[in-house]
Structure 1
Amino acid sequence: MPRRDYEDDPNAPEPNSLVPAASVVVVGDDGRVLLQRRTDNGMWALPGGRMELGESLEQCGIRETLEETGIRIEVTGIVGTYTSPGHVFAYDDGEVRQEFSICLLGRPVGGDLEVSDESTEVAWFTPAEVDGLPMVASIRKRLNDWRSGRIPVVR
């Protein structure tokens, strides 16, 4: 389902839902980071998605990464929390979701790169290559926070 991201946009629609979610910065032994090109907006992004009932945040990040990229991971830390009320996602079905995402840090432990119904491409990138990729501001912020080593508590 297509989505539109709004960040600090006075013309953004009012949110009508709040859904806990996890995203994951997956870093290989060679320092490259795992990204997917999303089907809903065509942008490069971290793997991640909504948390389901009965699972922990860690389990959510592991499941979403496997589903969206084919890579099995272990969670090794946290990059930060991202809960800005000024960042909303508007979906075609009328849902307008306020951001509520915890970004985890992970490392690959197996699997093979695979696209899913949520991605058109999945690939590993050096941090320098990431700078030239099209992505929404909130994903770039998470990657920059990871690279800087800062752990933002509230964003």
Structure 2
Amino acid sequence: MEEIERKFLVHSLDFIVEASQAQKIAQGYLNSAPERTVRIRIKDNKGFITIKGKGDETGTTRFEWEKEIDLQEAEALLQLCEAGVIDKTRYLIKKGNHTFEVDVFDGENKGLVVAEIELSDANETFEKPIWLAKEVTSDEKYYNAYLSKKPFKSW
């Protein structure tokens, strides 16, 4: 249940031609405290509830628990979430032995594009695509919970 991931800004939309899948995502937070975020997400036509713990000092590793829930339950829970629902399209891009999840944000976060890669070890090497820019793994302002309160447009 431990998640190890790194996060990067993306400097162009060139990755879209490499995507094997695109998913529309709406997500909100029942609790956005960094120690225990509770997220409700609708991805295409499926609902999910996710609980995440606080990240380690590098922001790379943290506890994560996720469960699929009924779509109607997810829609109802999304109405109870804190203000600032996130809308984005997630593109899945396979590079070597890994899959990058690249989020192109809409709404109040339009203009922001962030890529994440999940790893099995914090020091694991991976192929870096040319469209990756600065690493922002440890910068909390790029966390979705932060973006729901202080959207990219307000920076």
Common fold by TM > 0.5: no
TM, length-normalised to structure 2 = 0.34
TM, length-normalised to structure 1 = 0.34
